[in-house]
Amino acid sequence: MKNKGVILQGSSRSDGNTNTIALFVKEKTGFDIIDLKSKNIGAFDYGFKNRNDDFIPLMRDIVDNYDTFIFATPVYWYTMSGILKNFIDRISDCLKTEKEIGYKLREKKMALISCGSDCEIKEGFTMPFIETANYLNMEYLGDIHTWIEDGIITKKLKKDLDVFIYLM
């Protein structure tokens, strides 16, 4: 039986290239997509003053309903998007004030899809995701870097995505 998964799309454009890739993966896997741009998620705050935003209810839903998380992010200035960075930073809430959510992360799997303007990605891009999975005792399934050429996913990239998806 396949895991039930979710694609957590963290892009400043809900309908941009990252979404094109996310929709392709959704079509192949049946995974849901959650557009983080559509959520009100504040930055991490040591005083936990943003506890009434969308983050905690969203995380509770995610850990209760999904086994595999695929983070999908464009490459902005050689790193993940700010939207996704805020989301990942807020996982600290699940280690401090919402520990029952944090404990459930141990049972989950994580993967990464990056989407850039070309077929190469700088060394070190994946490190925050790998180390976050390690820290949270999640299984890191791997990553793939993607790009769109003239508005389409190339045949080669579709094949690479099929291999990536097979590992889910």
For the segment 21-71, what is each residue's pLDDT rounded down to a tens digit? 999 999 999 999 999 999 999 999 999 999 899 999 999 999 999 999 999
The whole model's pTM is what? 0.95
- The C-alpha atoms of residue 7 and residue 32 are separated, in whole angstroms, by 6
Residue whose entry in the numeric block shows the structure tokens 């997509």: 33
Q: 73, 1, 50, 118: which is closest to 59 by C-alpha?
A: 50
For the segment 102-127, what is each residue's pLDDT rounded down to a tens digit? 999 998 999 999 999 888 899 999 99
pLDDT score recorded for residue 2? 54
- The C-alpha atoms of residue 54 and residue 69 are separated, in whole angstroms, by 18
- Lookup: tokens for 11: 């892009």
Q: How far is CA 136 from CA 51, 98, 101, in A?
A: 21, 14, 11
